[in-house]
Amino acid sequence: MAKLWGGRFSGKTDPLMERFNESIHFDRRMFKADIQGSQAYVKALQLKDILTAEEATTLDKGLQQVCNEWEQDQFEIKNGDEDIHTANERRLGELVGSVAGKLHTGRSRNDQVATDMRLWLRDAARELVTFTRELVQVTVDRAEQEIDVLLPGYTHLQRAQPIRWSHFLLSYAWLWQQDAERLEQIIDRFNYLPLGSGALAGNPFQVDREFLAQTLGFRGVIENSLLAVSDRDFVSEFLFWASLTMVHISRFAEDLIIYSSSEFGYVALADAYSTGSSLMPQKKNPDSLELLRGKAGRVFGQMSGFLMTVKGLPSTYNKDLQEDKEPMFDAFDTLHGSLQIMARVIATMTVHADRMKASLSPDMLATDLAEYLVRKGVPFRETHHISGAAVRMAEERRVPLNTLSLTDLKSLHPSFEADVQDVWNYERSIDNRASIGGTSKPTVLQQITHLREWLTKA
């Protein structure tokens, strides 16, 4: 088959250049989007009387047959099939004859590929929204089931204050909720039609682009043809979304890797998401989490690499943009698996509430000791120093903070009274954090309610 662009060329293309130039081995996965765009374009050409009704029907049926061959894994890729567009048009010609040559009237591969990518990514991104929402669902379910489990909260990886395990889980559920909303916003932002822009200057046959947009489910048309064929911001935004979502997954994976270690023992991963050592039979390695952590770097690398590709491109379309698809596909594939694995790890892991509770220590209530004096009317800046002095006294004596006597505490400030013993209660400390966003049971349950309300929305 003659190349779509080969009219002005007389010499043969170097076979190495043929392989270097072709993209069919990776853009073939857009076959359905390419067929959808072509079927809509057939209708638009018919409306302009460029195609007769009979020709339009022939092309539409031929395109559907091509699509069926792809879906049934019967499509045969041949030499000269540079990309999915060339392959589909070549096969269409074999099926319906010379009328296939009318399909490309007024259309360029530039606006065609831009349309295919938006159609493909729109469906792919919606699938990832579903998986992200399922990850939120699993995390919320787990948080509700284990609402009474307590553990140390950490800053700087040092034990800080007691919190609810559910509060910790929900901190990630909220991140993933934002990820889902962010991706939905990105879909809305790029869901505009490039088709009908030609190579760069527009369509000379005045095809009805608004009809095309409506037929293909776009919100509207891109109003500048130069932008339409060259804009890949939607790819960049998707790659950023994928990178940020993987960062959130990676951070949670890191927490669970630490919490599942022998030194902590807070959680244990299911065997289905762990592996052993080829040398040390006692080992149970959190490989699922380590892979998730590693794949975050992979996705970020795809994003940074693509941004370097587009940063210096002149207007409008340049062949460099062929590098847009593999990062997009790879990011999708990585997130497609990662979101599901993360959800399954969370759903199946075992929580050792006793180990978590045993890691709570009285020194984590030093802030509560300062707050006790605040309630007695002492300014916080003073109470902070007084509580610090109590911590130092306990450390020097090598005793727990809660074993200091009332006499010891009164030596630091006269406002201490017998009811100071009420401070040394982890549940009470946690439930004192009762403002919106706090770790108290009512506020954590409120978070669960709000996330469930969000999950019920379409």
Which backbone phi and psi does 128 adopt, to 5 degrees?
Answer: -70, -35
Residue 38: partners with Cβ closer than 8 Å, 6 or more residues away = 59, 63, 88, 103
Measured CA to CA, the distance from residue 219 to residue 321 in angstroms comes to 24
Please answer whether residues 389 and 351 qualify as being in contact, where contact means their C-beta atoms are separated by less than 8 angstroms: no
262 carries an active-site annotation? no
- C-beta of residue 132 within 8 angstroms of C-beta of residue 104: no
Cα separation, 101 vs 41, in Å, equals: 13
Q: How far apart are CA 97 and CA 62, in angstroms?
A: 10
Q: Which residues contact 359 (CB under 8 A, 6 or more apart)?
A: 151, 152, 159, 264, 266
Both tokens of 174, joined, read 């909220």
Length of the chain: 458
Pairing state of beta strands 158-164 and 267-268?
A: unpaired
Which DSSP category does 29 fall into?
G
Which residue is catalytic, options 10, 166, 171, 277?
A: 277
- How far is residue 84's CA from residue 280's CA, in Å, rounded to a whole number? 49
Name the pairing type of β-strands 192-193 and 220-221. Answer: parallel
Is residue 156 among the annotated active site residues? yes
d(CA 232, CA 316): 11
Assign 3-class secondary structure to 173-224.
HHHHHHHHHHHHHHHHHHCEECCCCCCCCCCCCCCCHHHHHHHHCCCEECCC
Of 156, 278, 405, 435, which is the active-site residue?
Answer: 156
Catalytic residue ranges: 156, 277
